[in-house]
Amino acid sequence: MAVSEEVKKQFVDYIMLQVFDDQYIDRQEEKKILEEGINKGFGVEEGLTVIRQVASEKNLVLERDAEDRAKDVLEAFANNDGKVDKKEFENAVSVFKTHSKGKIPEHELKKRLKQMMETNGWKAKEGGLFGSKWYSAIN
């Protein structure tokens, strides 16, 4: 069942209301917006499409997209030589920070990226003769 243009406009207005103060859609807000979309007759995929379209047009940040970009960077580093070193990790943090427009504190970014590495089985390169335990220190 297709939704009317009026209902779609109401949904877009609802999205804009949710990001009015910070131009940022975190995962909780995204879920809340999708629930509203479902109540208005949208399917999940259709709702996500509208959210992404609005985000693109209005230059809004979707936390999910920022995480995905950082994950792609980490994956490329991990697949390169089997491990992610400190500089590569910091590059991924920088990508995440840039794409989330600084809305997430750096410590939280590092924790999320560490969790991402552990979830995907990617190893960190730390220690060595003059190395530090930079990865182990993230908690």
Query: 69 and 46 in one domain?
Result: no
Query: 68 and 106 in one domain?
Result: yes
Query: 55 and 83 in one domain?
Result: no
- pLDDT at position 3 is 86
Mean pLDDT of 38-55: 95
Domain boundary among 44, 59, 74: 59
Among residues 76, 55, 57, the alpha carbon closest in space to that of 66 is found at: 55
Query: 77 and 55 in one domain?
Result: no
- pLDDT at position 71 is 96
Cβ atoms of 43 and 54 within 8 Å: the answer is no
- Counting the structural domains of the chain, the total is 2
The Cα 115–Cα 62 span in angstroms is 19
- pLDDT at position 126 is 87
The Cα 118–Cα 112 span in angstroms is 10
- pLDDT at position 129 is 65
Query: 13 and 54 in one domain?
Result: yes
Query: 80 and 52 in one domain?
Result: no
Could you tell me if residue 79 is inside a domain? yes
Domain boundary among 42, 59, 76: 59
Query: 48 and 23 in one domain?
Result: yes
- pLDDT at position 75 is 96
- Supply the pTM of this predicted model: 0.82
Query: 95 and 52 in one domain?
Result: no
Could you tell me if residue 118 is inside a domain? yes
Largest CA distance in the chain: 65
- pLDDT at position 88 is 95
Query: 45 and 11 in one domain?
Result: yes
Among residues 19, 21, 22, the alpha carbon closest in space to that of 51 is found at: 19
- Sorting pLDDT into bands at 50, 70 and 90, what band is 127? confident
Query: 81 and 41 in one domain?
Result: no
Would you say residue 131 has pLDDT above 90? no
- Sorting pLDDT into bands at 50, 70 and 90, what band is 69? very high
Domain of 93? 63-124
Query: 92 and 47 in one domain?
Result: no
Would you say residue 20 has pLDDT above 60? yes
